[in-house]
Amino acid sequence: MRIAVVGSGYVGLVSGACFADFGHEVTCVDSNQEKIASLKAGVMPIYEPGLEQMVATNTKANRLVFTTDLAEAVSRAEAVFIAVGTPSRRGDGHADLSYVYAVAKEIAGNIQRFTVVVTKSTVPVGTGDEVERIIREENPAADIAVVSNPEFLREGAAIEDFKRPDRIVIGIEDERAREVMTEVYRPLYLNKAPLMFTARRTSELIKYAANAYLAMKITFINEMADLCEAVGSNVQDVAHGIGLDKRIGSKFLHAGPGYGGSCFPKDTLALVKTAQDYGSPLRLVETTVAVNDQRKRAMARKVARAIGTDVRGKTVALLGLTFKPNTDDIRESPAIAIIQGLQDGGAHVRAFDPEGMEAAKAYVSDVAFGGDAYEIANGADALVLVTEWDAFRALDFTRLKSLMKEALFVDLRNVYRREVVARHGFRYVSVGRPKEDITVALATAAE
Ligand code: NAD
Name the pTM for this structure: 0.93
* pLDDT for position 407: 98
- Calculate how far, in angstroms, residue 376's C-alpha sits from the geometric centre of ligand 1: 34
Tell me what pLDDT residue 436 has: 56
φ, ψ (nearest 5 deg) of residue 308: 120, -100
Catalytic residue of the set 18, 28, 228, 263: 263
Rounded to whole angstroms, the Cα distance separating 410 from 412 reads 6
Return the ligand 1 atom nearest residue 86 CA. Answer: 32
pLDDT at position 439, please?
47
Catalytic status, residue 28:
no
Q: Which CATH superfamily is domain 223-443 in?
A: NAD(P)-binding Rossmann-like Domain (3.40.50.720)
State in words which class domain 2-198 has: alpha beta
The domain spans of the chain are 2-198, 223-443
Give how far Cα 199 sits from Cα of 164, 175, 179, 327, Å.
23, 11, 15, 33
Half-sphere exposure of 409 (CA within 13 A, CB side): 29
- pLDDT at position 330: 94
Q: Do the domains spanning 2-198 and 223-443 agree at the CATH topology level?
A: yes
Position 190 scores a pLDDT of: 74
Residue 417: per-residue pLDDT = 95
Averaged over successive runs of 10 residues, the pLDDT of the chain (447 residues) comes to: 97 98 98 98 94 98 98 98 95 94 98 97 98 98 98 94 95 97 90 91 98 98 98 97 98 98 96 97 98 97 93 98 94 97 98 97 97 98 98 97 98 96 96 70 48
At residue 90, the pLDDT reads 85
Distance from chain centroid for Cα 203: 20
Q: Which residues line ligand 1 (CB under 6 A)?
A: 6-12, 29-32, 35, 83-86, 99, 102-103, 121-122, 151, 153, 155, 262-263
Atom of ligand 1 nearest to the CA of 122: 32
Expressed in angstroms and rounded, the spacing between residue 12 Cα and the centre of ligand 1 is: 7
